[in-house]
Amino acid sequence: MTEQLVNQVTQQKLVRIAFRWTAILLLGAISGIALSAPSAHAAMHHRHVKGIKTLKAKGPVPFYRGALLEDADTGKVLFEDNADMPWPPASMAKMMLLLVTTEQIKAGRVSVSDPVRVSERSAHTGGSRVGLQEGQIYPLGELIKAALIKSANDAAVAIAEKVGGSVEAMVRMMNQRAQELGMTHTVYRTVDGLPPRPTHDADITTARDLARVAFQIIHTTDLLKLSSQEQCPFDGGVCMLHTTNHLIGHFDGCDGLKTGFTFQAGFNLTATAKRGNMRFISVILGAPSNQQRFIQSAKLLDWGFEHFQSVSVLRGGEPLPVHVQVGPTASIQPIAPRDVNVVVPKAEAGLIHLEYKVPTTINGSLTSGERVGEVLVQDHGETVTEVTVVSPIAVDVPTEQVGATENRHADPSYNQVNQ
């Protein structure tokens, strides 16, 4: 059974219940679902939670095989269960395909308006499809919509052939990008996530690696503008693409990202939602049904929004409470180049500590925006995130005034300001 058939079978039922969070709670009460996630404090201080099941079933069938919740701003994992378990991503492999494609578009190697001729291979790709026919020509942007929103495998193959030159070349590009992102437990063998065949084995990844590619998509692409749509016209309105992600439009703040299903993988979902200034990424692997992947993801996301809050720790462009002498006469106060927020348990919002790793003197000229040090954002002694701070202005130190030392940091001591 493919993703397309599964969604045809369940879509009417999901629409009837509107799949709002109130309906999710009702379903949870009826079926005896109990949220037994760790406390917010425990989730923050134990990144590798062992033996804890977020959502437990009364019967012998678990509600998922792996799960993860991550702060989408810093990448901090707030909860994990079997997050490093090898698992087939199924159609969530298309996330990497589309990340590589958008990066190639940004690099100017291809354009969303480029014509793509549908090959025989693309037209005969099975599973979830948009019905491409050999010889048809579509703009690359239309095929991106079909692959992301409808999870169309024929569109995925057409994209791979256009951007990579061939499916095999695109798979190599996907694996290279995965390695660059530190996705050490991921191996792609397809561009569409279809089950193993004599010509290829199954794709393998983990919940942690999937969150990593989702993080990259959120911060470097505009793909959420597409994945946030419940339906979207294809080919000038010839047909409508209906999203396979039934949290879209029914779970507050959800605007992505990608579903996946095969018999081997079960029902997978990488989702993201934003409320106010907080955004989370959730990954559910191996849910036993189409409904359950959405229910479990919604519960995990809602748990995050209920127990955590975003704390502003640095404002971009504001002088920091440290001074750096530059050369014999000048002095600067470094700045953070952007606003920095961290997500912490609500009970610990006032316990964030800042440690400034900024030298007291710099022996040489500085350019505007040049790095001068770091600020460590800490919670109970654990570094939550590290922020590079920069010079707000250019400072020119004449060559004859530069000391003989080869180290630009003439004074190895650091500003001892803690907040």
Q: Return per-residue pLDDT of the chain as tens, 419 residues.
A: 455 544 544 444 443 433 444 444 433 432 333 333 433 333 333 333 233 333 433 344 579 999 999 999 989 999 999 999 999 999 999 999 999 999 999 999 999 999 999 999 999 999 999 999 999 999 999 999 999 999 999 999 999 999 999 999 999 999 999 999 999 999 999 999 999 888 778 999 999 999 999 999 999 999 999 999 999 999 988 899 999 999 999 999 999 999 999 999 999 999 999 999 999 999 999 999 999 999 999 999 999 999 999 999 999 999 999 999 998 889 999 999 999 999 999 988 888 999 999 999 999 999 999 999 999 999 888 888 899 999 999 999 887 666 543 345 444 456 655 56
Here the contacts of 177-183 (C-beta below 8 Å, separation 24 or greater) are 177/96, 177/99, 177/100, 177/103, 178/96, 178/209, 178/213, 181/212, 181/213, 181/216, 182/212, 183/209, 183/212, 183/213
Kindly state whether residue 251 falls inside one of the protein's structural domains.
yes
CATH code: domain of residue 192: 3.40.710.10
Kindly state whether residue 410 falls inside one of the protein's structural domains.
no
Contact indicator for 306, 278 with CB cutoff of 8 Å: no
Number of separate domains in the chain: 2
Predicted TM-score (pTM) of this structure: 0.80
Say if residue 203 is in the same domain as residue 339: no
Say if residue 22 is in the same domain as residue 104: yes
d(CA 56, CA 249): 26
Kindly state whether residue 261 falls inside one of the protein's structural domains.
yes
According to DSSP, the β-strands at 330-332 and 324-326 are antiparallel
Residue 160, token pair as written in the block: 């791979």
Residue reference for tokens 């130190």: 397
* Dihedral angle, C-alpha 251, 254, 260, 264, nearest 10 °: -50
Kindly state whether residue 249 falls inside one of the protein's structural domains.
yes
Kindly state whether residue 418 falls inside one of the protein's structural domains.
no
Q: Which domain holds residue 346?
A: 315-401
Cβ contacts of 350 within 8 Å, gap of 6 or more: none
CATH code: domain of residue 359: 2.60.410.10
Residue reference for tokens 């760790």: 38
Cβ contacts of 91 within 8 Å, gap of 6 or more: 3, 128, 151, 153, 192, 193, 244, 258, 259, 260, 261, 268
d(CA 292, CA 121): 34
Say if residue 281 is in the same domain as residue 381: no
Say if residue 197 is in the same domain as residue 285: yes
Kindly state whether residue 409 falls inside one of the protein's structural domains.
no
